[in-house]
Structure formats: C-alpha cells, structure tokens
Amino acid sequence: MTTSFPRFTFVLVWLLAAALTLTRGQTRPTEAVDLLVRGGTVVTMDAQRRVIPNGFVAVRGSQIVAVGDTADAGRYRAKTVIEAGGKAVLPGLINAHTHVPMTLFRGLADDLLLQEWLTKFIFPAEAKNVSRDMVRAGTRLACLELIRGGTTCFVDMYYFEGDIAEVTEAAGLRAILGQTIIDFPVPDALTPQMGIAQAERFIQKYRSGHPLITPAVAPHAPYTCAPETLAACRKLADQYGVPLVIHLAEADTETQTILERYGKRPVAHVEQVGVFGPRTIAAHVVQVQANEYAILKKHNVGVAHCPQSNMKLAAGVAPIPDLLAAGLAIGLGTDGAASNNDLDLFEEMDTAAKLHKVTHRDPTLVPALKALEMATIEGARAVHLADRIGSLEVGKLADFIVVDISTPRQLPNYNLYSTLVYATKSSDVETVVVHGKLLMRDRRMLTLDEASIRRETAAFRARILESLKK
Amino acid sequence: MTTSFPRFTFVLVWLLAAALTLTRGQTRPTEAVDLLVRGGTVVTMDAQRRVIPNGFVAVRGSQIVAVGDTADAGRYRAKTVIEAGGKAVLPGLINAHTHVPMTLFRGLADDLLLQEWLTKFIFPAEAKNVSRDMVRAGTRLACLELIRGGTTCFVDMYYFEGDIAEVTEAAGLRAILGQTIIDFPVPDALTPQMGIAQAERFIQKYRSGHPLITPAVAPHAPYTCAPETLAACRKLADQYGVPLVIHLAEADTETQTILERYGKRPVAHVEQVGVFGPRTIAAHVVQVQANEYAILKKHNVGVAHCPQSNMKLAAGVAPIPDLLAAGLAIGLGTDGAASNNDLDLFEEMDTAAKLHKVTHRDPTLVPALKALEMATIEGARAVHLADRIGSLEVGKLADFIVVDISTPRQLPNYNLYSTLVYATKSSDVETVVVHGKLLMRDRRMLTLDEASIRRETAAFRARILESLKK
C-alpha cells in the first residue's frame, strides 16, 4: 500500500498539471493582433448573414484576421481592445454617390425648380467659389460628418479630386474619387480635353494600390458630355483599369434631351457610345425601363440609389425592386449635401425601405435586411469593391463601426435588422475603424480637428454669401 | 477762471451721475419671471413668422410673458436662466397622431402585409399583453423618446387612457388623450358601450381645465366602428365639449369595405353618420378625393399627416398639397412605434417635405417652412389648440425647445428653416420646456428615470416574446 501512494500522487499531480496546461493554453493570449473588438453583436453581412450575439472581430494591420464568438477571443493579445457589450458591430457603411465639397453649399438654396436651383444658385456658386482651398475645406467638413455617421467608404464626383484625395487620406476614410469631366468650362478645366488630362494625372498618382484611395474618371452625365467625351472617359478608365462613375437617367428632362439629340433613351445611348465597361458606377438610374435592366446587368453596372435626393429634387422613384429582381448590385448614396441635405446613410436606409413600399403599395418590399445590404455588402458590390469591403470576414479590410443599439428609442429591440434600419440614427454611431485604424472612438474624433473645421466653414460661408451678391 | 472751475466740475459730476442712473435704470432687472431663455435664435412661428436672431423668451408660471431681442431682456430677473447662444429656440413640436404604449411593440414585426401584420402579430400581442401596467410602461418609454426628440404635445389613441394620462402628467408632457372605442372586445372594454362608459369616466376626471391633459373620445375607424358607435362617440364629445379623434381613409381596403357596407367612401360616410363636429382630429386621410376636401373643411377637421407610417405600411401618399390648398389645418404624426418605428418629428418634417415633391414631381411643394409649420403652429391648429400652443407669443403657454444648430452636419447654415427641416436631427434637441417647466436640460432628463424605464422595458420585452410563443 505504501508503494502505491506515491504512484497515485504522481498520477494526480500529472493530471492536475495537464489540466492547468490545457486551461492556460485556452486562455493565455498567444496570437498578437492590433485591434480586438469584443462582446458586441457582430452583424457580419457575410454570405450566410451570420449574426454573432456575443462576438468579436480581430484585426492585424489593415485586415480582419478573425471573426467569431467572444468565448473564442481569448487567444488574441491586442494592443487596443474595444469592449462592445450592448452594441452592434457592423461593416462600415458605403456611400455610393456624393459630391463631398458641396457640404459648403448645404442649404444655400432649397425647394426650387431644378433649373432655377442649378442656374441661379448652384452653378454660380460653383463658378465663383470652387477652388482647391474650397474643395479641401468642404471635404474636411464632409469627412467629419461621414465618420460621425458611420460611413467608412464613399464614391465622389467633383473637381480637384487630387485635393479631395489628400484630405480624405488624412481623415483616414476609404474612397473612390472620380475626377469630373464635363463639356463646359469648370473650375479645374476649361475644356473636356483638359479635364481628361487632369483625370489622367490624378489616376497616375493613385492607381498603384493606394491603401485608401481608388482613382476614377467621372463623365458628369450623358446630357452634359458629348459622345466623344464619354468615349474618351471609357478609354481612360480602360487604359488604367479604374472605375468610371456617371450620373445616369436621373430626371425626365435628361431623357427628353437625350431622346431629342440621339434618338435613344439615356441607358441605350450610353451603351451605344460605349461608356459601360468594367467597374461602371451609375448614380440615380431613376428614368429606366424594363427593357433597359438587361443592358445594365450585361455590363455589370453598379447602381447608386439616392432616394432622399431623388425625392427632394423631384426626379422620381427609381424602380429598385425591379432592378433588384434583375440581379443588379445596388448601393445607397446621399448625393451632395446641397440636394439632400446631409450625408446620413442611416436615413437613406430608412427612406429606401419605406419609399418603395409606398410607391408599389407593397409593405413587403425592401425589408430592413435588404436596406442594410444596400448600405454594406450590396453597396460594396455596386462600387466593385466587394472582394475587399462590405462584410466582416477573415481576409477583408477592417472597415467597421460600433453602434449603440440600446438607446431608449431603439428599445425593446426584437429584431436587430429592424432596429438598425428603422430605429437607429447616425448619432448612435460610437466608434469607426477604417483600414484597421480608429477614426472615431466613443464619438471622439481622432483624425480631424472639429474646431478648425468649424472656423474654416464659417470663413467659406461668408465668402460664398459675398460672392453671390455680385 | 478760478470760479468757473468748481462750476464746471459740478456740471461734470452731475452729468456722470445722471448717466450712471440712466444706465443702472436700464440694466437693473425690475420684473420677476420664472424662466428666461436668452441669446438664441428665436423662431417664433407667429403670424409674421418672426425670427429674432439674438432673442429671448421670458416665462412666468406656465405662460410666455415676453418675447424679443436679448438687448431688451435686461429688465427680467429670472430664477432660471438658459443661455441659448448658437442655438435655436422653437415652439415645442406637436405629434398629432400616435399610440404611445405601442413603443413596447416597436420592431416586433415589420415588412409584412397589413393583414398579416395586424392579425398575426399586433392584435395577438395586444390581446395577450395590453394591461394597465403595460400601458404605463409603454407610455413612460414613449415620453422619454418624445422629450428627447423635442416633442412637447401629442395626440394619442389607445386603451387605458386614464393610465396614459397619469404617466404623461408625471413626465410633464402636454397631450390630447383619446380613449379608443371599437366594436370588438379590447383589453379595457368588452363592448363599445363599455368603452363609451370608460371614456366618459376618463373625460369627467380630466375635463375641467387640467393644465396638461385634454381628454378625448377616439372611435377607432369607420371600418371598426358601426354607425351607431360612431354616433355615440360624437354625442359624448359634444356632451363634454372634448375633441374626437379618429383614423380616417388610411388604406384602400378601408375605402372598399366602407363602399361595400354603406355605399359611400369613408369621408362621406363619416359625415353622414355625424362624426364630424367641433374639434375633430382625423389621422392619415390618405384615400381622399377632391370632392371630399370641402367636407373636411366645412367641419374644420384637423388632419394628422403621418408620412413615414403611410410609407412603411404602404397605405399611400396623402394629397397634402391639395389639402393645404383647400385651407385645411395639417399637423404631423408619427403613428405608433410599431408602424414607423420611432416617434421622431424631425424625421417626419424631413420626410413630409420630400415625399410630396417626388409624388407630384415638383420640388417647390412643401418647402422647409411649411414642414416646420405642420410640426408647430399648423399642427396646433390641426389639434385645435392654436390659441394656447404652437408659437412663441406673449400669452401662449410656455412649450418650447432649445435646439443645437451648430453641429458640423448642420453647417454652414445659410437658411434657418432649411437647416431645421433638412439637417437637424432629434439628437440636436438639448432643452425642453412644457407649461413653463423644464423636462430636459442639456439632454439631462428631469422628470423621468431612464434606468428604471430600461429595466421595465426589458421585463415587458421578455413577457411579450413569451406570450407570442403560446
């Protein structure tokens, strides 16, 4: 008996040691990451639309390296840990159409007929004020609003996109920036040829895999660009393999003009001219008919649906349920702040979900999940970046947001998608990460100086008002 | 020369003394008030739509006793002073149609066909859960959201309005509370006769000039109340001189039902039955034709326009520009949180301004000022309280809100009405005063305990989910 005692003890100690080793192996962080978000409801928007109630996202550098249950997050040792208990973690929202510098024209003129609005206010204001400095100031103001509202990527069309790129990069946002080409003289180009040259220089600077900025060419619209201008834009896009961004089939007047000039409706005209090609992003697409859906689908055109802008400017209601049924990728855009008047994708989701229901008298259309898809993974498809962003999956870029889902006006919260689309506001966004970098944490801005943006905005406000007196 | 010196000194001293006396007379506060808000942009919504850039509002007891330029506010000595520099001071917003306890059903079921939504979710949820306790909890949650979003007065239709009244009074909000009468058994009445009796007791309790609560009778709708029920409701309203609140001409199905049953469309049917009379408030009024506008106008029916609810439930678009042209008073309502899904009048203003533009393809319709009017002075007319609330004028009740107008997403702020309607969010509301009493100051709740409301809401959420499993 005496001999068996030490043997028994040995076995016991060995078992204990093994158990401890196993336990420590599970809890000791062994894998170093840069950022760990844990404890939140992770809304992956992956192919299975997985929602992980108590989930985590681990980030190394710019990439997501793990997504899962917080119980399995113990192996990650992170420099920065964000506790997201009671919050939702979502893919960053994608604004598929905007003109960021136009924030400086927000509310300058509203509730006017389109022609009056454009010719009496917007065009004169642009002619007298758009400069490199103005574009930079407007972009800074827009980036502040975009980040605070949970947008992590936007598609822009404006002038001086090189300056927009620098400010966007400094703010830390991701963007597809389309240098605008138009047939009349604009602040950064007297002719479309000069515009194309300008666009080419911009594309050359940013084309080789910039981490945040994707350069693009942006022929303004079929009614403001002659067929040869449009064709030159496509040629440039193909030469450098960059996206082409265009306003398409927005208002009735455009359809009439294009029909009169070319005997075709806008979509068919643009196809014939050869504008469609790889990575085309078309904004609005309101005045489009059933026989034109296949054209858009054939060329894999991404659609930037802008419900609030289309309502406010009275362009019409895009046939989104039909375009979805046709298999097109549809994202959501705010348009510029002069025609919306904000850059708030939570409102666009809510409006998109409601507008098509009433238009078709069918409350089952564009349910909450579909609206959220348009602002995330489907938006990523529409802007041809779905391989890199739009969902929370291993290998994708770390663009995500942490959103409060427990304010009184979101309760009781029976259905997360419904809460996010119908009851969540941009003010509920707390933390924003782009390319693995924190841009806002607990609503504190980390890359932009709000006070200086306010001063700059006030100075441009005075200058713009003065310019319109002359 | 020597004799003139003292004389000159005397004159000088006298002049100085006189000047000092005058100055002191101007700045010494002589008139005692309870509350003074100063330094803000006062948006009066009075008949002249005066906007006072650096204005003040002085309150004694429950009433506004002065409105003017802050330079003239020096005569008021106030117990409480609110510095509103850089903010806007607006009449409190009026929610002309809601069902406050339904906040507890927010997001329970969305994106469904109306019949399925009602019969599979809302009606069973109500049958199994609506109780005095539930109604009190839901009202508390709603009052929290209403106050935080700048609403100071609401028109309700639900069951157990006596309990809703007690909670509303404790929260400090103003309300017109309509005890619902309906032809089928409901949680607080097995028959419409019992409902009428219940309504009468409620009215008797609150009718004699309660400072905050106006009792009302609320026949649910023409398709859920027989003509005799509707007539009994009007009789009760007339007997006590209280408002009558009703859902009217909301969906197509209602029109069909009423046509089949009575051979008339809803508005004409309701008129024939004699429902219209003094202080009628009709919610929705979507399915209404040109020849019916005069009927509504003749009876001075106030219309509660609910654009977001009508969109989400796919009821249709109310002909608001035509109803405005017909001279009807139109307010804005959110409807219940189960069908919107929030109680946010800033969003309803924005949506109302945009929805009619796109419906009629006219961007000049429902301009920003008109939308703000619907949420304030015209809303007050629609709910028959324009002699007491809806504008900031001497003699009116002190119901007002202080709203930040300087967040980055509101800048540059060229036009105040545009900023308020198109770029201001409920999260910008900082301070809320009703009947001269502060309910929220700098976003701190003063009458409601948010933590206990959260606990109560969580408990009812669990109970409601459990009830639907059975």
For residue A247, is it within any domain?
A: yes
Alpha-carbon distance B21 to nearest alpha carbon in chain A (angstroms): 40
- First-to-last C-alpha distance (Å) of chain B: 108
CB contact under 8 A, A412 and B458: yes
Alpha-carbon distance A355 to nearest alpha carbon in chain B (angstroms): 6
Minimal Cβ distance to B311: which of A106, A357, A409? A357
Residues A172 and A100 both lie in one domain: yes
CB contact under 8 A, B343 and A409: yes
pLDDT at A13 over 60: yes
Q: Tell whether A144 is within 8 A of chain B (Cβ).
A: yes
Residues 169-198 of B with CB under 8 A from A: none
Residues B355 and B313 both lie in one domain: yes
Alpha-carbon distance B109 to nearest alpha carbon in chain A (angstroms): 8
CB contact under 8 A, B408 and A454: yes
Last residue of a domain, one of B376, B393, B410: B393
Closest-CA residue of chain A to B452: A408
CB contact under 8 A, A104 and B317: no
Residues B76 and B97 both lie in one domain: no
For residue A442, is it within any domain?
A: no
Q: Tell whether A313 is within 8 A of chain B (Cβ).
A: yes
Residues B31 and B101 both lie in one domain: no
For residue A205, is it within any domain?
A: yes
3-state secondary structure of A143: helix
Q: What is the mean pLDDT of residues A137-152?
A: 98
Chain A residues with CB under 8 Å of B426 CB are: 409, 425
CB contact under 8 A, B453 and A408: yes
For residue A429, is it within any domain?
A: no
Q: Tell whether B40 is within 8 A of chain A (Cβ).
A: no
Residue in B95, B98, B103, B111 to test binding to A, most A beta-carbons within 10 Å: B111
Q: What is the CATH number of the domain that holds B8?
A: 2.30.40.10
CB contact under 8 A, A361 and B411: no
Rounded to two decimals, the ipTM of the complex is: 0.93
For residue A115, is it within any domain?
A: yes
**The predicted structure's pLDDT at residue A225:** 97
Closest-CA residue of chain A to B455: A412
Question: How would you class A391 by CB atoms within 10 Å of its CB: exposed for 0-12, middle for 13-18, buried for 19 or more?
Answer: buried
3-state secondary structure of A145: helix
Q: Tell me the pLDDT tens digit for each residue of A373-392.
A: 999 999 999 999 999 999 99
- Token readout for B27 is 């700045």
CB contact under 8 A, A144 and B453: no
For residue A129, is it within any domain?
A: yes
CB contact under 8 A, A461 and B414: yes
Closest-CA residue of chain A to B311: A358
Please give the tally of structural domains in chain B. 2
Chain A residues with CB under 8 Å of B419 CB are: 107
Last residue of a domain, one of B349, B365, B393: B393
Q: Which of A12-16, A136-140, B49-53, B260-264 has the lowest mean pLDDT?
A: A12-16
CB contact under 8 A, A111 and B353: yes
Residue entry with tokens 């678009």: B317
Residues A20 and A155 both lie in one domain: no
**The predicted structure's pLDDT at residue A9:** 65
Q: Tell me the pLDDT tens digit for each residue of A329-345.
A: 999 999 999 999 999 99
Chain B residues with CB under 8 Å of A447 CB are: none
Chain A residues with CB under 8 Å of B103 CB are: 411
* In A263-342, alpha helices (H): 266-273, 290-298, 307-312, 320-325
Q: What is the mean pLDDT of residues A148-166?
A: 98
Mean of pLDDT over chain A: 94
Residues A100 and A161 both lie in one domain: yes
Residue in A343, A358, A405 to test binding to B, most B beta-carbons within 10 Å: A358
Q: Tell me the pLDDT tens digit for each residue of A19-57.
A: 555 554 455 678 999 999 999 999 999 999 999 999 999
Alpha-carbon distance B121 to nearest alpha carbon in chain A (angstroms): 13
Residues 89-108 of A with CB under 8 A from B: 103-104, 106-108
Q: Binding site membership of B for substrate: which residues?
A: 126, 220, 250, 335
Residues B192 and B241 both lie in one domain: yes
Residues B50 and B177 both lie in one domain: no
Residues A372 and A343 both lie in one domain: yes
Minimal Cβ distance to A363: which of B112, B350, B419? B112
Q: Tell whether A316 is within 8 A of chain B (Cβ).
A: yes
Alpha-carbon distance A465 to nearest alpha carbon in chain B (angstroms): 8
Structural domain harbouring A229: 92-400
Q: What is the CATH number of the domain that holds B316?
A: 3.20.20.140
Last residue of a domain, one of B338, B371, B393: B393
CB contact under 8 A, B409 and A358: no
Closest-CA residue of chain A to B421: A341
Question: How would you class B17 by CB atoms within 10 Å of its CB: exposed for 0-12, middle for 13-18, buried for 19 or more?
Answer: exposed
Residue in B100, B105, B110, B366 to test binding to A, most A beta-carbons within 10 Å: B110
Residues A76 and A98 both lie in one domain: no
Residues B24 and B145 both lie in one domain: no
Alpha-carbon distance A439 to nearest alpha carbon in chain B (angstroms): 16
Q: Binding site membership of A: which residues?
A: 97, 99, 126, 220, 247, 250, 335
Chain A residues with CB under 8 Å of B425 CB are: 425-427
pLDDT at A111 over 60: yes
3-state secondary structure chain B: CCCHHHHHHHHHHHHHHHHHHHHHHHHCCCEEEEEEEEEEEEECCCCCCCEEEEEEEEEECCEEEEEEEHHHHHHEEEEEEEECCCEEEEECEEEEEECHHHHHHCCCCCCCCHHHHHHHHHHHHHHHHCCHHHHHHHHHHHHHHHHHCCEEEEEEEECCHHHHHHHHHHHCCEEEEEEEECCCCECCECCHHHHHHHHHHHHHHHCCCCCCEEEEEEECCCCCCCHHHHHHHHHHHHHHCCCEEEEECCCHHHHHHHHHHHCCCHHHHHHHHCCCCCCEEEEECCCCCHHHHHHHHHCCCEEEECHHHHHHCCCCCCCHHHHHHCCCCEEECCCCHHHCCCCCHHHHHHHHHHHHHHHHCCCCCCCHHHHHHHHCHHHHHHCCCCCCCCCCCCCCECCEEEEECCCHHHCCCCCHHHHHHHHCCHHHEEEEEECCEEEEECCEECCCCHHHHHHHHHHHHHHHHHHHHC
For residue B401, is it within any domain?
A: no
Q: Tell whether A306 is within 8 A of chain B (Cβ).
A: no
Closest CA to B417 of B38, B43, B47: B43
Q: Tell whether B315 is within 8 A of chain A (Cβ).
A: yes
Residues 44-73 of B with CB under 8 A from A: none
Residue in B116, B358, B372, B447 to test binding to A, most A beta-carbons within 10 Å: B358
Residues 241-300 of A with CB under 8 A from B: 252
For residue A445, is it within any domain?
A: no
Q: Binding site membership of B: which residues?
A: 97, 99, 126, 220, 247, 250, 335
Residues B96 and B206 both lie in one domain: yes
Q: Which of A113-122, A281-290, B2-11 has the lowest mean pLDDT?
A: B2-11
Q: Tell whether B351 is within 8 A of chain A (Cβ).
A: yes
Chain A residues with CB under 8 Å of B406 CB are: 454
Indicate the pLDDT class of residue A177, thresholds 50, 70 and 90: very high
Q: How far apart are CA B352 and CA B359, in angstroms?
A: 11
Per-residue pLDDT of chain B (470 residues; tens, 9 = 90+): 344 455 666 666 666 655 555 555 455 678 999 999 999 999 999 999 999 999 999 999 999 999 999 999 999 999 999 999 999 999 999 999 999 999 999 999 999 988 888 888 998 999 999 999 999 999 999 999 999 999 999 999 999 999 999 999 999 999 999 999 999 999 999 999 999 999 999 999 998 889 999 999 999 999 999 999 999 999 999 999 999 999 999 999 999 999 999 999 999 999 999 999 999 999 999 999 999 999 999 999 999 999 999 999 999 999 999 999 999 999 999 999 999 999 999 999 999 999 999 999 999 999 999 999 999 999 999 999 999 999 999 999 999 999 999 999 999 999 999 999 999 999 999 999 999 999 999 999 999 999 999 999 999 999 999 998 87
CB contact under 8 A, B412 and A107: yes
Alpha-carbon distance B316 to nearest alpha carbon in chain A (angstroms): 6
Q: Tell whether B412 is within 8 A of chain A (Cβ).
A: yes
Q: Tell whether B210 is within 8 A of chain A (Cβ).
A: no
